[in-house]
Chains A and B, each alone.
Chain A
Amino acid sequence: MINALLNKIQHLGAATICSFRRLGRASIFLLEVMLSCVSMLTRPALLVKQLYSVGVQTLIIIVVAGLFVGMVMALQSYYALVDFGAEDSVGVMVALSLLRELGPVVTALLFAGRAGSALTAEIGLMKATEQLSGMEMMAVNPMQRIVAPRFLAGFIAMPLLATIFSAVGIIGAYLVAVQMLGLDSGSFWSQPQNKVDLYLDLYNGIIKSLVFGFVATWIAVFEGYDCIPTSEGLGQATTRTVVHSSLAILFLDFILTALMFAK
């Protein structure tokens, strides 16, 4: 009985130490990646290629999701506000929700699922097939040639994708509110113009998406680089990327919201 309890405590301790070790490795890895990003100045082509892979190829899912989220938001807002005769506020409600919260958060979650998992799988497979070792033996630093361009591309692409998500979402809301439900087009556009604050809403949303992009891409490239180079290890790493990124995004969203919108 006592032995079983001691064993459990021992396992808990081992798991905690393992987690902290991994966090330490991830921190050192991040430092190396950030130092390696300097090399992008001499090789912009690598960054452009990754921006296409990480950003442009994620665009479809972002646009489609943004459109439907905006449409659903417009419907829900309309049903809630119409009872109070405040249906003209649908535009501002949707705009604020998208710019402050849904734009950065949903984009980051979709990014983690689509681009993050792809980054982990790609880097992990390169490790499993000895491509990273091969580069090292060719005196080429994989941090500079493989990891840094992907990390930087994720960091740059995220705010752009979040902005596109919000813009498409507002257009989706316009289609539903004005074209389908017959709300006045003038009040749909004029209220957001008056109520949305450039610094408080738009800039804060962009700051959020920058933070999410940084964290989601860091997790994705680290999981790929640190994975056990087997099919099982690669599968686990890809799953961890999506789970850890999603949780980190939601947790950071709470922290950032509390800091940004505290009165």
Chain B
Amino acid sequence: MPFVKPVMAGHIFNLTIRRYFACYNLEKTTTFPIKKAAGLSDILVKIRDLHFSRGDRKIFDGLSMDIPRQGITAIMGPSGTGKTTLLKLIGGQLTPDSGTVEVDGLNVHRLPTRKLFELRQRMGMLFQSGALLTDLSVFENVAYPLREHTKLNEAMIRHLVLLKLNAVGLRGAAQMMPSEMSGGMARRVALARAIALDPMMIMYDEPFTGQDPISMGVLVSLISELNSALNICSIVVSHDVPETLSIADQAHIISAGKVIESGTPESLKNSTSQWTHQFVHGDPDGPVPFHYPAAPIMEDLYQTGK
């Protein structure tokens, strides 16, 4: 059963048209900011004392974080620190051992399935692989959430899909299959699909990984422009420091299951913390040692010689 009623579907269409023409066709400077309803908090995602483990391995150990309703928030950290896991916890795909994750005032892990799915309609997520449905064309992939959750007629769906694809520069690739596209193009299509229902937030999981400089540049500017055009919350998980910090309004660096530093990109670049300095500037040695813990080399060599 579609969750979005026909009236709501019409609202989505109007909103998209208004935003699209405001942001992509008319004056670039003209935007229509979404007015904050009375009593609505500035914080969209509130994470408190989050604990999560995989087997014996602790991923999060009392992590707390606030993500504002508007702007780009970067979550950075070395590989394996649980950045993608954090997005899955925010999206309700994983359940924490303890702690709370609230999105728009709703405790994600206490919601019944139907309410959780309703909440997810207001979230968009861009997966690292794009996660496009391989048996559907680009057009059908972008149309998929609209067909599932609205009762829009075919002509309206076509208009919406073409507008979304045009926003990511791939209107001309509408009839291509995902297998015919490069990784960068697949991510742009996935981005068009993520904004299909005009979500209040978009989560980006490692959007720049494995991209050539041109594709990376395209994705960086797309994320930035879409965020300012749509006036939404963008959460970018990445370890590509320069690209991410260039568009982020604020950033959190996580390591060892906790947030070790938060602030604006400038404040993180000038941080006095040795750890943050090593991560942001990519120093090969520092608090995170170059060598994986091991016995002294002479001891190892001597034993091998024996």
Taking Cβ atoms with an 8 Å cutoff, the residues of A that contact B are 42, 129-131, 133-141
Contacts and interface: CB of A to CB of B under 8 A. Distances in A.
B93 A138 contact: no
A5 to B, nearest CB: 26
Given A137-B91, A137-B93, A139-B118, A129 B134 contact: yes
Interface in B113-161: 117-118, 120-121, 123-125, 127-129, 131-134, 144-145, 148-149
B3 interface: yes
B121 A139 contact: yes
B125 A137 contact: yes
A166 B43 CA distance: 66
Given A129-B134, A139-B118, A139-B121, A134 B127 contact: yes
Contact of B145 (A42, A133, A140): A140
A139 B111 CA distance: 13
Contacts of A42: 1
A139 B3 contact: yes
B117 A141 contact: yes
Nearest to B4: A139
Contact of B93 (A129, A131, A133): A133
Contacts of B144: 138, 140
Contact of B148 (A136, A137, A138): A138
A138 B129 contact: no
A131 B128 CA distance: 11
Contacts of A136: 91, 93, 120
Contact of B127 (A130, A139, A140, A141): A130
A141 B149 CA distance: 12
Contacts of B3: 139
Nearest to B121: A139
Contacts of B133: 131, 134-135
Contacts of A133: 88, 93, 127, 131
Nearest to A141: B117
A137 B123 contact: yes
B127 A138 contact: no
B141 to A, nearest CB: 10
B33 to A, nearest CB: 26
Most buried by B among A129, A130, A138: A138
14 contacts: A129-B129, A130-B127, A131-B132, A133-B93, A134-B125, A134-B132, A135-B133, A136-B93, A136-B120, A137-B123, A137-B125, A138-B121, A139-B121, A140-B144
A126 B14 CA distance: 34
A161 to B, nearest CB: 23
Contacts of A140: 144-145, 148
Nearest to A129: B129
Contacts of A137: 91, 93, 120, 123-125, 127
10 smallest CB-CB distances across A and B, nearest first, come from A134-B131, A130-B131, A139-B120, A139-B117, A137-B125, A139-B121, A130-B127, A138-B145, A140-B148, A130-B129
Contacts of B128: 130
Nearest to A136: B93
Contacts of B134: 129, 131
A131 B93 CA distance: 13
Nearest to B145: A138
A133 B190 CA distance: 13
Contacts of B117: 139, 141
Nearest to B124: A137
Nearest to A138: B145
B125 A139 contact: no
Contacts of B123: 137
A138 B148 CA distance: 9
